[in-house]
Amino acid sequence: MDYPLIVDVFFVLLAILAVVSGWRVFCTDSMVRASFFLLVSFIAVGVIMILLAAEYLGVAMFFMMAVEMMVMAIFMVMFMMNPAGLNPMMMVHQHKFSIAAGAAVFVVLAAVALLAEFPDTPLPGDLDPVKSLGNELLGDSMLIFESAGIVLLTTMIGVVVLSSHRGRYGAAEEGSMPPGLVPGGDPAGMPEENDEGGGHHHCH
Amino acid sequence: MIVSELILPVLLVTFVLVLGAYLVAVLDEAIAGALGMPRATSVWTAPLTQGAWLLTQQANATEAPDWRAWRLAPALYLALAAIGLAVVPFSPTLIPTDLVTSVVLWGSVEALATVVIFLHGWSANTLLALIGAYRYVALGLSYILISMFVLIGVALPAESLQFSQVVASQEGLWNVIRQPLGLPLFLIVGLGMTFWGPLNLADSRDLAGGTASAVSGPPRLVWNLARAAMLVAFSGAAASAFLGGWLGPWLPGPVWMLLKMLAVLAVLLLIGRLVPRVQPERCVTLMWVVFLPLSFVDLIWAGVEALL
Amino acid sequence: MAVSWLSRLAAQATVPVFPVRGMHGEPVLHRLALAAGIELVDSPRHASILLVAGGVPPDQHDALRRVHDQLPTPFATLWYRSEPLDELAGATRVDDPDALPEALKTIHRELMSGKRGSSPRLLPDEPPNPWEGLGDDGHGGEGMMGGVPYGRPMAMNMTDDIRDGLTLDSLTVTLGPFLPMLPPGLTAEVTLQGDLIQSWTTHSAPYPIALESAFFQALQGPVPIAELERARARYHLKRLHFGLRLAGLERLALEALRLAFEPHPGQNRVMALRRRLVRSGFFRLTTTGRGRLDENQARRVGGIAARAAGLEEDWRSGDEGYRHLNFRPLTQREGDTAARWHQTLAEIEQALQLAGQAERDAVHTRRSDGVETPRGPWGEYRPEDASGVLEELLPGLEWDEAMSTLASLDLAPLSPWSLEETSEAPVPTSVEERRA
Amino acid sequence: MELLTLFFIVLIAAGLGLLIQWLPMRHQPMPTYPQRAPFLGGGLPETHAWNRYHVRYYPMTLLLIAFEMEMMFMYPWAVVFVEQGMKAVMEMGMFLAILSVGIVYGWREGVFKWQ
């Protein structure tokens, strides 16, 4: 394919940016900084994707990662000691194992990159990747797409169940009880005390 | 080619951004004066004198700020405003950057703005700024879905994610009439992005200035400038998504575009002066329970309308 | 060259003033709020002049020094009816409220042109705690959390949250006495978890507020009800100004203030203000039904807060003069922030209506063993500081809710002197105008 | 080319933002420690403000992530909407219905309130 030299230059610069900021994630003391270094890394990758003509995916990457890293930063700050890194600390654990794992993954990926035979079919010039993506979503992959919707709905419900403190029937830790069907009656929809049939005991 | 594709767009964006930010300040002063607030100096010089004063004031520091993030946040916010304006078409040919997915890019500007505004409050390491930052995240994460729905709504008839195509699709009828819910919802997004007026949860009065409470001097100037610039960028997006961008009789396209941007700005600034600040918790509930379902309706409306 | 050009431009800017609200300093700040070319800002970082309006008790001088030192250079101080701190003996002092706006502008101009140097720093340039380089990496202390990194310890007091029981750090700060959102003089030790107030301990009460002399005369003998009720309406309109400004409705806040400065504000204008307030969404958007006082607390606070919680307590009901005007105390039921503002607006309207009626018939008060002040009944005792209720009321509220609740409550004790007496310096304007 | 233009625009805007801050600040001395103390109206904090901050809308953020995932499918879908006609309408209807269930459920459980 024919492309100007400047694309190569930008690719190299962005690749360096992605790797360096990815590395900085592990050497900064502040959780918030770590999250946003990761964001920078993802943005660099996103720009590379745009350079590779995957315009929608690249821009979507900015979008998704900005939101996701923001949420990650929030949760980091909520649950980690010393979230701002006022005292220095080590961000990495299990050094030997992680070095070995990192090296192994690098070798495997590098091998894939070098040894695999990539298809060399040039794309048609008038291809509109966004359009083909849309047609795919409405065509062959419709079922996958819709089931993804259902899966995400389950995720949402799971999230709400796990994290919401304020249930429909009162605070979660008080063992929220639905109100009775008659005033002062037993909670509605609760299983009987001696009923052991609930859920996971049934294996088959 | 270099001139028309590189230098001209860059100059155009810089010029509109700076001039627009100045006009935002002038317009806001004028609206305040018209609503009966005491103003001594002329509205035309007030932003300049205020800016000059901020340049002479010492830049404040806090005890242990996250220096780099603190200084970068206003500059990055300004850069995001520039990106936002860069995807806005001024005429069929005068488009600073005509990306195929410019509508999605605009969405990511919104998402990244949340990050930058959070950083501005977080880096100061002071209580009031920190509360402002976290509050803003609640708002930022709430309006983003509304914006997505509304923008997908305008992309439907255009069959494209490109702002220039969106404008072109409004040749017959502007989206503001075709999708009546779209513009009001999008204006809410605009107020949220710039935390202006009723949605000023980040830099509010009950936090003594919130994320800006600990900054002074030049960094504060850049922050104010960036906020105004973001309003300009937003008005560009709103004008091209709903008001038919460059379309209009008699006048040349770019002039129409600028006029429409001014109109959007005037509406936003007026809302900012007339509506009280929404309580944060209520704001999140409103966004999810009222405005988000409304944006569903808008999308369905847009979909049905596009097929008819 | 360029710099002098810049400072010439800066000299013409709207003067950003951070007001330190001292004792009896409110009236002049209300005037400044209406003055052109002056902006009252909320953070000392945004100001070029520190205006100390009214006296500051000696035990709060340290807090004043801290606020003074937080203004970025170049800045100056101006003392309005207040003795400058010893270190700042040469600072400008102005006692005439009419001369104040001009004085502020002059100081700003002189500051920008370099004719006047910046105010000196009062506190030594030292970190709050010495930086301790201990531990493995030269940081604060053992492990991740210890020591005093950058001169301050880290927040590491784990407490259970009162809303959802998550155990997370809490942050303890001392707020006030000059925080613009709090009543002037109020200091409190506040523990926050996130933006939720976990505990609130009031350390010092708000400064006493001075009422107009009409209320004092009512304790001596009969006074015209018209005068009394107009003074009441003015008092509440000024409170409304504060609440609306905090809610981001600057325009209506100024409208309320302008009404307060009018000698004979019309009832219909208050009604128009109320309509605009409702239409702007003030009651729906800025309040969430929190800040509810129970009966006991409401009685302790008295006045508007009590009647907003449904207590029909009003000295005026026992007065012959008022009975002649068919006075009946208004009440609300909810007793929360919104109800207090509804009650305030209703009472302003009622006061103006009573004033109009009383003027026609020249009705005077009959009772002089007590008076219903805007702050509550003054019979045997003067209404006292009620900031104790905050300790029960504010925990569990989010910051914005807490601040709007605070604005809707009137907690300060009443001063034994009237508004006219507290301005001891000679005042050039007539008494009639001063009262406004 | 568009990317290059965008790159320059970002560079200029961010550079301008940093320059305005940096130029006047070059020769300024560091503010004194009392000036750098957090503004609390004369009061002081006991500790740094950075702490394990209790973000009270955390369930909402999680809901948002799940939601946003689904939304990203919708952009490409919008492009082919008119082409596909009724099929796209049906799909959108299903999609929005699924999403609405999530929101209604979250609302009933009080997710959009401060925990």
Nearest residue in chain D measured CA to CA from C175: D43
Q: Which amino acid, C353? A: Q
Q: Which residue has the tokens 């942050």?
A: C171
Cα–Cα distance, A13 to C422 (Å, whole number) = 70
Which of C187, C204, C221 is the endpoint of a domain? C204
Say yes or no: C59 and C193 in one domain. no
**Bridge partners, B245 (sequence order):** none
Cα–Cα distance, A187 to A165 (Å, whole number) = 20
State the pLDDT at residue C237: 93
Q: Domains in chain D: how many in total?
A: 1
Q: What is the CATH number of the domain that holds C260?
A: 1.10.645.10
State the pLDDT at residue C153: 77
Q: What is the CATH number of the domain that holds D61?
A: 1.20.58.1610
Tell me the ipTM for this assembly. 0.88
State the pLDDT at residue A175: 54
Residue D113 in domain:
no
Cα–Cα distance, C14 to B54 (Å, whole number) = 11
Q: 3-class DSSP state for residue C324? A: helix
Counting one residue from A and one from B, how many pairs have CB atoms under 8 Å apart? 61
For strands C414-418 and C167-175, give the pairing: unpaired
Residue C45 in domain:
yes
DSSP C357-409: HHHHHT-B----S-EEETTEEESSS-----GGGHHHHSTT-BHHHHHHHHHH-
State the pLDDT at residue C12: 87
For strands C49-53 and C15-21, give the pairing: parallel
Instruction: Say if residue C44's pLDDT is above 60.
Output: yes
Say yes or no: C338 and C273 in one domain. yes
For strands C209-211 and A166-167, give the pairing: unpaired
Torsion of CA B267, C283, D53, B196, to 10 degrees: 10
Instruction: Say if residue C270's pLDDT is above 80.
Output: yes
Say yes or no: C53 and C76 in one domain. yes
Which of C179, C204, C229 is the endpoint of a domain? C204
State the pLDDT at residue D23: 85
Residue C231 in domain:
yes
Flag if C140 and A171 touch (Cβ within 8 Å).
Answer: no
Say yes or no: C240 and C166 in one domain. no
Nearest to D13 by CA among B116, A193, C244: B116
Q: Please provide residue C196's backbone torsions phi and psi, each rounded to the nearest 5 degrees.
A: -100, 135
Positions of chain B with pLDDT under 50:
none
Average pLDDT over all residues of chain C: 85
**Structural domain of residue D23, as residue ranges?**
2-45+54-108
Which pLDDT tens digit goes with each residue over C74-104? 899 999 888 888 888 888 888 888 889 999 9
Burial A36-72 (b: 16+ CB within 10 A, else e): bbbbbbbbbbbbbbbbeebbbbbbbbbbbbbbbbbbb
Q: Which residue has the tokens 């607390």?
A: C297
Instruction: Say if residue C426's pLDDT is above 60.
Output: no
Q: Which amino acid, C253? A: A
What are the residue ranges spanned by the domains of chain A? Answer: 1-84, 129-167
Compute the 3-state secondary structure of chain A and give helix, strand, coil in percent, each to the nearest 5. 60, 5, 35
Q: Which residue has the tokens 């420690």?
A: D33
| Residues of B in Cβ contact (< 8 Å) with A60 | 104, 108
Q: What is the CATH number of the domain that holds C78?
A: 3.40.50.12280
**Bridge partners, C5 (sequence order):** none
Nearest to B10 by CA among D12, D16, A10, D18: D12
Which whole-number Å values give the CA distances from C422 to A39, B19, C32, C171, C211, in the listed order?
A: 59, 50, 18, 39, 10
Residue D115 in domain:
no
Nearest residue in chain A measured CA to CA from C133: A87
Q: Name which residue leads in pLDDT, C201 or A146.
A: C201
State the pLDDT at residue A202: 39
Cα–Cα distance, B32 to B24 (Å, whole number) = 12
Mutate to test the interface with D, among C144, C152, C192 (most CBs of D within 10 A): C152
Counting one residue from A and one from C, how many pairs have CB atoms under 8 Å apart? 35
State the pLDDT at residue D25: 81
| Residues of A in Cβ contact (< 8 Å) with B104 | 56, 59-60, 63
Which whole-number Å values give the CA distances from C239 to C236, C333, C420, in the listed order?
A: 5, 21, 19
State the pLDDT at residue A161: 83
Which pLDDT tens digit goes with each residue over C346-372? 999 999 999 988 888 888 888 878 888
In sequence order, the 6+-apart residues with CB closer than 8 A to the CB of C305 are: C293, C298, C335, C340, C409, C410
* DSSP state, residue D56: T
Residue D24 in domain:
yes
State the pLDDT at residue C131: 66
Q: Domains in chain C: how many in total?
A: 3
Residue C120 in domain:
no
Q: 3-class DSSP state for residue C170? A: strand
**Structural domain of residue C57, as residue ranges?**
2-113
Whether D75 contacts chain C with CB within 8 A: no
Instruction: Say if residue C413's pLDDT is above 50.
Output: yes
For strands A166-167 and A170-171, give the pairing: antiparallel
Confidence of residue A194 (pLDDT cuts 50, 70, 90): very low
Say yes or no: C188 and C216 in one domain. no
Q: Measured between CB atoms, which of D9, D53, D79 is closest to B83?
A: D9
What's the average model confidence in pLDDT over C103-125? Answer: 88
Residue C93 in domain:
yes
Residue C134 in domain:
no
Say yes or no: C174 and C271 in one domain. no
State the pLDDT at residue C435: 37
Q: What is the mean pLDDT of each run of 10 residues along chain D (115 residues)?
A: 83 89 83 88 85 86 85 83 80 82 85 80
Average pLDDT over all residues of chain A: 79
Whether D47 contacts chain C with CB within 8 A: yes
Q: Measured between CB atoms, which of C144, C150, C164 is closest to A81?
A: C144
